[in-house]
């Protein structure tokens, strides 16, 4: 009897320990969880990836057919929660992580130990890229992250590197608005070097990478927050040539800027001189115009006689202010 009672007590204790106590779990603040029952994840019935307009907008027509994953029921932070023995809980951290762009999850020794990523530029130069990318798991597409592919980070890094290398191979400096580069600097647009263009436009390159990698959220369930490409290092044998080109380019640009500044200053001075002379001419013409108007009004009121009287009065005023008058001897000229 005692043996039977002990066996029964042991079974009850084993059952409580393995099926009740072990079934309790919690979810941390930076985590989200998904529960499966007999291997099938709990889903939001009738809801898929394409029902999210933001995710759908990042995929083309062909990708929308391949990456239309079901939406899962996400367990929020908190607890304790309970699961049955035939259920399994998958916890995922949604914290933002940073990795080197040269990291290869499958081959850690690749790309010089995950420090420098090599790429070919438009003018066939092998260059080394350094920088980081920030990413986090998208809780709106956990099916793609947990069940869509085996190792999401491997796919995301491969996708990012392929897009980056394509951008480096085809990168062109943004055109200036309202004027071409030749009109703005006086230099030929054909003299540009792709490495220099990339170095001067790292922000534009990073912005392009952010736009082109948005589909990773719908593809792999990982959001690429930002790409921070910080360094473009050409081969040592090319560095000195690039330095010489940059020095010459900077010198020419400086001379052009000084010439443009001098020309602008002269143009401003010429405009100012024209304005001054125009004002002087207006100041001289204005009294004459006013006098002509007064004489016209005088003639309209008093006729021609008023103009003769006006001229006589003016002459008298002038004679009153003069000290010496020279008169013409009309008889002398008439006798001759």
Write the pLDDT tens digit of every residue in 94-115: 999 998 988 888 888 888 888 8
Q: Does 228 lie in the same domain as 119?
A: yes
Q: How far is the C-alpha of 129 from the C-alpha of 168, rounded, in Å?
A: 10
| Sign of the dihedral through C-alpha 30, 36, 40, 44 | negative
Domain-embedded: residue 203: yes
Tokens matching residue 9: 């007590």
Residue 36: closest CA among 85, 108, 109, 100: 85
**All residues at 6 or more sequence positions from 35 whose CB lies less than 8 Å from its CB, including other chains:** 41, 42, 73, 75, 83, 87, 88, 89, 90
Q: Does 256 lie in the same domain as 291?
A: yes
Q: Does 214 lie in the same domain as 296?
A: no
Domain-embedded: residue 119: yes
pLDDT at 243: 63
Averaged pLDDT for residues 12-35: 78
Domain-embedded: residue 315: no
Q: Is 57 strand, coil or helix?
A: coil
Q: How far is the C-alpha of 237 from the C-alpha of 87, rounded, in Å?
A: 61
Name which residue leads in pLDDT, 252 or 188: 252
Q: What percent of the chain has pLDDT over 70?
A: 80
| Sign of the dihedral through C-alpha 184, 185, 188, 190 | negative
Q: Give the pLDDT confidence of 48-69 residue by residue, as tens digits.
A: 888 888 888 888 888 888 888 9
Domain-embedded: residue 329: no
Q: Does 103 lie in the same domain as 166?
A: yes
Averaged pLDDT for residues 64-90: 88
* Per-position DSSP letters for 172-185, written without gaps between them: -PPPPTTS-HHHHH
Residue 281 is classified by DSSP as H
Q: Does 224 lie in the same domain as 167?
A: yes
Domain-embedded: residue 71: yes
Q: Are 155 and 218 in contact (CB under 8 A)?
A: no
Q: Does 204 lie in the same domain as 119?
A: yes
Average predicted confidence (pLDDT) for the chain:
80
Q: Does 207 lie in the same domain as 90?
A: yes
Q: Does 288 lie in the same domain as 194?
A: no
Domain-embedded: residue 312: no
Q: Does 297 lie in the same domain as 258?
A: yes
pLDDT at 188: 44
pLDDT at 126: 82
Q: Are 192 and 173 in contact (CB under 8 A)?
A: yes
Q: Are 171 and 205 in contact (CB under 8 A)?
A: yes
Q: Are 195 and 126 in contact (CB under 8 A)?
A: no
**All residues at 6 or more sequence positions from 284 whose CB lies less than 8 Å from its CB, including other chains:** none
Q: How many domains does the chain have?
A: 2
Question: For residue 86, is pLDDT > 70?
Answer: yes
Q: Does 228 lie in the same domain as 87?
A: yes
Residue 179: closest CA among 171, 170, 189, 169: 189
Q: Does 207 lie in the same domain as 145?
A: yes
pLDDT at 191: 45
Averaged pLDDT for residues 269-283: 85
Domain containing 44 equals 2-175+186-234
Q: Is 336 strand, coil or helix?
A: coil
Q: Which phi and psi (to 5°) does residue 134 adopt?
A: -110, 135
pLDDT at 246: 65
Q: How many CB atoms lie within 10 A of CB 156?
A: 24
Domain-embedded: residue 129: yes
């Amino acid at each position: 009897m005692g043996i039977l009672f002990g066996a029964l007590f042991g079974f009850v204790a084993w059952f409580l320990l393995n099926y009740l106590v072990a079934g309790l779990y919690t979810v941390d603040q930076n985590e989200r969880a998904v529960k499966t029952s007999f291997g099938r994840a709990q889903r939001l019935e009738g809801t898929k990836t394409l029902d999210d307009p933001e995710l759908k907008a990042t995929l083309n027509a062909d990708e929308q057919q391949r990456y239309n994953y079901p939406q899962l029921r996400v367990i929020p932070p908190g607890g304790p929660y309970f699961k049955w023995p035939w259920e399994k809980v998958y916890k995922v951290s949604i914290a933002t992580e940073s990795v080197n762009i040269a990291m290869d999850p499958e081959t850690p020794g690749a790309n010089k130990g995950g420090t420098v990523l090599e790429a070919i530029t438009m003018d066939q130069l092998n260059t080394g890229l350094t920088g980081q990318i920030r990413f986090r798991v998208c809780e709106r597409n956990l099916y793609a992250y947990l069940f869509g592919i085996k190792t999401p980070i491997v796919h995301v890094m491969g996708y990012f590197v392929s897009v980056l290398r394509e951008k480096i191979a085809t990168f062109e400096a943004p055109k200036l608005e309202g004027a071409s580069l030749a009109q703005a600097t006086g230099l030929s647009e054909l003299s540009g070097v792709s490495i220099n263009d990339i170095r001067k436009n790292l922000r534009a390159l990073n912005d392009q990478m952010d736009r082109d990698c948005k589909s990773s959220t719908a593809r792999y369930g990982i959001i690429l927050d930002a790409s921070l490409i910080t360094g473009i290092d050409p081969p040592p044998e090319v560095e000195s040539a690039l330095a010489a080109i940059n020095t010459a380019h900077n010198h020419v640009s400086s001379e052009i800027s000084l010439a443009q500044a001098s020309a602008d200053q002269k143009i401003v001075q010429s405009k100012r001189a024209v304005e001054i002379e125009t004002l002087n001419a207006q100041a001289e013409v204005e009294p004459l115009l006013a006098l002509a108007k007064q004489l016209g009004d005088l003639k309209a009121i008093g006729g021609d006689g008023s103009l003769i009287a006006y001229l006589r009065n003016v002459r008298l005023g002038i004679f009153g202010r003069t000290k010496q008058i020279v008169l013409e001897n009309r008889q002398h000229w008439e006798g001759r």
